[in-house]
Amino acid sequence: MVNVFMGMKTILALRALFYGEMQPEPTQPEYDENGVDLTLIRWMMDMTPAERLETLQSFANAVLKARGERGDS
Amino acid sequence: MATLDFSAALRVLARCEVDFLVVGGIGAVLQSAPVNTFDLDIVHSTEPANVARLLAALEELNAYYRLQPERRLRPNETHLASPGHQLLMTRYGPVDLLGAIGSGRRYADLVPHTVEMELEEGVRVRVLDLETLIATKEESGREKDLAALPVLRSALAETRRRK
């Protein structure tokens, strides 16, 4: 026998889900009080130091190339 | 300008067994701060034996002063033993050799405040930790350094939160 008893809270949650009313709960802020984008910091924290350096180099080289200052090798 | 390859520059310095530590924007990036830079800033030991190793590394990097690039002036022992800043161009991009930073802190003062990172097999570098990097920028008081503080402080806070 399956127990189908649900509390009011569960029913409301299921109703919200069914009607698309449910919003993801914010778990961590995206910006701090100075406006710094914390998602970028967390993204970099997931990389190894070598990957962080490679990301920086790729960006810097792309900028130099766009400026026409980089001699491709 | 040549293609920037800071990894290659660090590889040469490590292979030549130069005592140095990474500071500035690259030091910040290595510790997850999302900042941009176009040069590699290092603080080196000004001990005579280290200066000799650094000169050998600079030879391999084809380093010369950026101020008058057409003259291809190269740093010598006296330059590298001083607390001054040597702004160089190398085959892998701009490299700044800093004898001292902040309120005159030199290599020996800063080494206890570093973290060691392995960038690739056999290439381990010391990086000035974020706390001290922030402190040196506060000490310098320059607009450029103060502007970087919010991102550095946030990176430090996020790093501590994750630990």
pLDDT per residue as tens digits for the range B90-141: 999 999 999 999 999 999 999 999 999 999 998 999 999 999 999 999 999 9
How many beta carbons lie within 10 A of that of residue B101, not counting itself? 25
- Closest in B25, B117, B154 to A36, CB measured: B154
Under an 8 A CB cutoff, do A56 and B3 touch? no
Rounded distance between C-alpha atoms, residue B11 and residue B57, angstroms? 10
- Which residue of chain A has the CA closest to B31? A49
**pLDDT-derived band at A24, boundaries 50, 70, 90:** low
Of A44, A59, A46, A48, nearest to B119 (Cα)?
A48
Give the model confidence (pLDDT) of B31-84 as tens digits: 999 999 999 999 999 999 999 999 999 999 999 999 999 999 999 999 999 999
User: First and final CA of chain B: distance in angstroms?
Assistant: 40
Q: Which range is least confidently modeled, A7-11, A19-23, B16-20?
A: A19-23
Which of A56, A58, A67 is the best mutation test for B, with the most CBs of B within 10 A? A56
pLDDT at B99: 96
pLDDT at A11: 72
Better-scored residue on pLDDT, B153 or B163: B153
Better-scored residue on pLDDT, A55 or A12: A55
Sheet order of strands, B64-65 included? B64-65, B85-90, B93-98, B40-44, B20-23, B123-128, B114-120
Contacts of B66 in chain A (CB under 8 A): none
Q: Which range is least confidently modeled, A14-18, A53-57, B80-84?
A: A14-18
Radius of gyration of chain B, Cα coordinates, nearest whole angstrom? 15
Q: Are B37 and B124 a contacting pair, CB within 8 Å?
A: no
pLDDT at A28 over 50: yes
**pLDDT-derived band at B18, boundaries 50, 70, 90:** very high
Which structure tokens are listed for B17?
């067994």
Under an 8 A CB cutoff, do B7 and A53 touch? yes
- Closest in A52, A55, A61 to B4, CB measured: A61
Under an 8 A CB cutoff, do B29 and A73 touch? no
Cα dist from B6 to B62, B71, B91, B94, B137, whole Å: 14, 24, 10, 9, 22
- Which residue of chain B has the CA closest to A55? B29
* DSSP SS3 for B128: strand
**pLDDT-derived band at A71, boundaries 50, 70, 90:** very low
pLDDT at A35 over 50: yes
Shortest distance, CA A27 to any CA of chain B (angstroms): 14
**pLDDT-derived band at A73, boundaries 50, 70, 90:** very low
Please give the helix or strand (H or E) that residue B5 lies within, else none.
none
